[in-house]
Amino acid sequence: MKTIQTKKIIDTVAEMCIEANTFLSEDMLESLRTAESSEESENGKEILKTMLDNFEVAKRRTIPICQDTGMVVMFVSFGQDLMIADGSLEDALQAGVAKGYEEGYLRKSVVADPFIRTNTNNNTPAVIHYKVVPGDQLKIKILPKGFGSENTSALKMLKPSDGMAGVRDFVIKTVEAGSPNACAPIVVGVGVGGTMEKAALMAKEALGRPLWMRNPLDHVAALEDYLLEACNNLGIGPMGLGGVNTVLGVNVEVFPTHIAGLPVAVNISCYVNRHVEREL
Amino acid sequence: MTVINIKTPMSKEDRKKLKAGDHVQISGTIYTGRDAAHKRMIEALKKGSPLPVDFTDQLIYYVGPSPAKPGEIIGSAGPTTSGRMDAYTPELLEKGLGGMIGKGNRSEKVINSMMNHVAVYFGCVGGAGALLQSCIKSVEILAYEDLGTEAIRKIEVENFPAIVVIDTQGNNLYETERKKYLK
Ligand code: SF4
C-alpha cells in the first residue's frame, strides 16, 4: 500500500500556494495576450498591457501578482488505497497553507468568524473539497480566490420552464452587474443542475478548467460560446472602462437534477485566475 | 496618450482641472485605508473624536498590501473594490478629503458628495499589485496598526499611474465608455 508522509503534503501545498500567487498559468497568459491585441478601446488596451507587464514584474521579483492572495480553495482527490502517515490529511493541508502564506509573504486575508472578524493571521482555514477515488494517488488542486471577484458571484434556483434562456439571462445579468468590480476581463464558471450546493461547487471547479477546453457535450459547449460572445458584447471592457474584452472564457458544467428544479450558479474570477494542480 | 503629472496634496483648483478619462501619474504623499479602517474612522467621528489624519486635500488609496519581503518596504499593493467604502466616503469628503484611488464604480450618493466637495475618483489597474508596488518609495504606519494589512499607512509614491474615472463634475467613465462598445 502506498504511503505518503504528512510532511511531504505540507511542503507541497506550501509550494503550490506560492507558485499559484506568483505565476499565472499559460492558458490565462495566452488569452490575455490575445485580448490585448484585439482590444478596440484605447483605455482597455492600455489596461491589458499594464496587466501583462505586471505578470513580468511579479515573476521577476517573486512577489504576488496581486496583493489579494485570496482565500484558498482546494480540490483533493484521494485514492482509496492510499495511506497517510504521521497525522491527519486535513491538518497537513491546512498546515501547508499556513506555511506557504508565511514563507511566501502572501497576504493573510481570512477572518475567524464572519461577524467578529478577527484575522486568523495564517490564512487558514482553507475551504477543502474531498473526493474519494479508486487507486492510490493524491491529487491536489489549489485555487487561491480573490474576493473582488468572488463577491460578484451569484446563485439562483430557476424553474425548469426557465430553460436555457433563463440560464443565459441569469449568467449575463450576473456578469453585467459584477464585471467592473471583479477586475475584468473575467473568467466565468457556471454550474447548472444538481442541488444548490452542487451547482455552486461545479461553478467553482469550472474556473480551474483550461480556457481552451470546451465542455464535451455539444449543447453545453454551444452555451459556452453563446455566453462568451454575449458577455463581450456588453461593452464593459477591461476594469469596466469600456472595451470588447469583458470575459476571457466561460466554462459551464452540468449535472443531473430534480424534476422540479434548475439550479444555476455563477462563480466569477478576475483575470488573475490562479490554479495549480499536483499529483503525489 | 498624454499623461498629466500631479502632486499631492491637491487643491480644489487642481482637482477641478482634471477630467474623466485623463491619464495621470501621482507623486507625493497618499494615505491607505480600506474596510476596517473606514469603519473605525466613522465610529471615531460619531463619538466626536478626531480622525487619525487630517485629510484636507489629501488622497486615500484603497489598498491592503501583502507583507514586505525582507529588504523591501511593502509587498504587492494594488487597489481593492471601492464600492465597499461607499457607506463611509461622504463623511470623509465632508472632512475635506480631496479624492480616492481604487477600482470599481461608486454609488450615486458618493458621486453627489464628490460634486459638492470638489473631489476626484481615480481608478488604477486591479490585480497589478506587483507593478504598483514599485511606485511606492516609503511607508509609515500612521494608525490602527492592529488591523495589519488594513492599518492606515502614509506612503510616498512616485509616478503612480491612474485614470480619472469620476471627475468633480460627476462625469463617470463607467457610464460613458461602456456605451461606445455596447453591441
Ligand atoms: S479581483 Fe482578482 S485581480 Fe482584482 S484585486 Fe481581487 S484578486 Fe486581485
| Domains recognised in chain B with CATH numbers | 3-177 (3.20.130.10)
Please report whether residue A52 resides in a domain: no
As given in the structure block, the three cell numbers for residue B73 are: 518596504
Mutate to test the pocket of ligand 1, among A47, A52, A66 (most ligand atoms within 8 A of CB): A66
Q: Which residues constitute the domain of residue A104?
A: 2-19+65-145
CB contact under 8 A, B183 and A117: no
At which of A118, A145, A172 does a domain end? A145
Does A46 reside within a domain? no
Per-residue pLDDT band for A8 (boundaries 50, 70, 90) equals very high
Q: Is residue A79 part of a domain?
A: yes
The reply to whether A158 and A267 lie within a common domain is yes
* A90 and A191 part of one domain: no
* Chain A, window 158-197: residues with a beta carbon less than 8 angstroms from a chain B beta carbon: 180-181, 183
- What pLDDT does residue A1 have? 87
* Residue A65 contacts B, CB cutoff 8 Å: yes
pLDDT value for A122 = 97
- List b or e across B32-47, with b for residues whose CB sees 16 or more CB atoms inside 10 angstroms: bbbbbbbbbbbeebee
Total domains in chain A come to: 2
Angle between helices A218-232 and A163-178 (to 10 degrees): 40
- pLDDT at residue number B1: 76
* Contact A183 CB / ligand 1 (< 6 Å): yes
Residue A254 is assigned to a structural domain of this protein: yes
- Judging contacts by C-beta atoms under 8 Å, the chain A residues touching residue B106 are none
CATH of the domain at A15: 3.30.360
Cell numbers 467553482: residue: A204
For A151, phi then psi, to 5°, come to -65, -15
Q: Are A253 and A199 in contact (CB under 8 A)?
A: no
**pLDDT value, residue A166:** 98
pLDDT in tens, B99-125: 999 999 999 999 999 999 999 999 999
Residues A11 and A76 in one domain: yes
Q: Distance (Å, rounded) from C-alpha A276 to C-alpha A207?
A: 12
pLDDT at A251 over 90: yes
C-alpha cell at B91: 463623511
CB of A88 within 8 Å of a chain B CB? The answer is no
C-alpha distance from residue A64 to each of A99, A127, A204, A245 (Å): 16, 21, 22, 24
Ligand 1 close to Cβ of residue A268 (< 6 A):
no
Q: Do B98 and B31 contact (CB within 8 A), yes or no?
A: no
Q: Tell me if A56 is assigned to some domain.
A: no
Mean pLDDT value across residues A262-268: 98
In which order are the strands placed within the sheet that holds A138-145? Answer: A127-133, A71-79, A138-145, A276-279
Pocket lining: A66 vs ligand 1, CB cutoff 6 Å: yes
Do A130 and A103 share a domain, yes or no? yes
Is there a single domain that holds both residue A14 and residue A141?
A: yes
- Say what the pLDDT of residue A71 is: 98
Q: What value does the mean pLDDT take over residues B37-43?
A: 97
- The string of pLDDT tens digits covering residues A22-50 is 999 999 999 999 999 999 999 999 999 99
Enter the pTM of the model.
Answer: 0.95
| Atom 2 (ligand 1) nearest CA | A270
The verdict on A169 and A72 lying in the same domain is: no
| Last-in-domain residue among A125, A145, A165 | A145
- Please tell me whether the peptide bond between A64 and the residue prior to it is cis, using omega within 30 degrees of 0: no
The yes-or-no verdict on residue A97 having pLDDT over 90 is yes
Task: Determine contact: A237 vs chain B, CB below 8 A.
Answer: yes
Q: Would you say residue A27 lies in a domain? A: no
Question: Omega before B50 cis (within 30°)?
Answer: no
pLDDT of B175 reads 93
A164 and A117 housed in the same domain: no
**Interface predicted TM-score (ipTM):** 0.93
The residue out of A97, A112, A145 marking a domain boundary is A145
Cβ–Cβ under 8 Å, residues A94 and A124: yes
Provide DSSP, chain A.
--EEEHHHHHHHHHHHHHHHHH---HHHHHHHHHHHHH---HHHHHHHHHHHHHHHHHHHHT--SSS---EEEEEEEEETT-EEESS-HHHHHHHHHHHHHHHTT-----BSSTTT--B-SS-PPPEEEEEEESSS-EEEEEEEE-HHHHTT-EEEEE-GGGHHHHHHHHHHHHHHHHTTTTTSSEEEEEEEEE-HHHHHHHHHHHTTS-TTPPPSSHHHHHHHHHHHHHHHTT---GGGSS-S-SEEEEEEEEEEE-TT-EEEEEEEE-S----EEEE-
Which ligand 1 atom lies nearest to the CA of residue B78? 5
The verdict on A161 and A96 lying in the same domain is: no
Task: Please state, in angstroms and as integers, the Cα–Cα distance from residue B70 to each residue in A102, A103, A104, A105, B42, following that order.
Answer: 12, 11, 11, 9, 34
Say how far apart CA A189 and CA B49 lie, in whole Å. 46
Q: Are residues A141 and A152 in the same domain?
A: no
Cα A6 to middle of ligand 1, angstroms? 32
Residue A235 domain-assigned?
yes
Please report whether residue A280 resides in a domain. Answer: no
Looking at CA atoms only, how far is residue B56 from chain A in angstroms?
A: 27
Together in a domain, A120 and A152:
no
Reported as a single tens digit per residue, the pLDDT across A176-219 is: 999 989 999 999 999 999 999 999 999 999 999 999 999 999 99
CB-based contact, B83 to chain A, within 8 Å: yes
Write down the pLDDT at residue A271: 96
- Average pLDDT over chain A, rounded to an integer: 97
Shared domain check, A125 and A12: yes
Same domain, yes or no: A237 and A156: yes
Q: What is the DSSP string of B138-155?
A: EEEEEE-GGGGGGSEEEE
- Optimal mutation site among A39, A41, A68, A108, interface B, most CBs of chain B within 10 A: A68
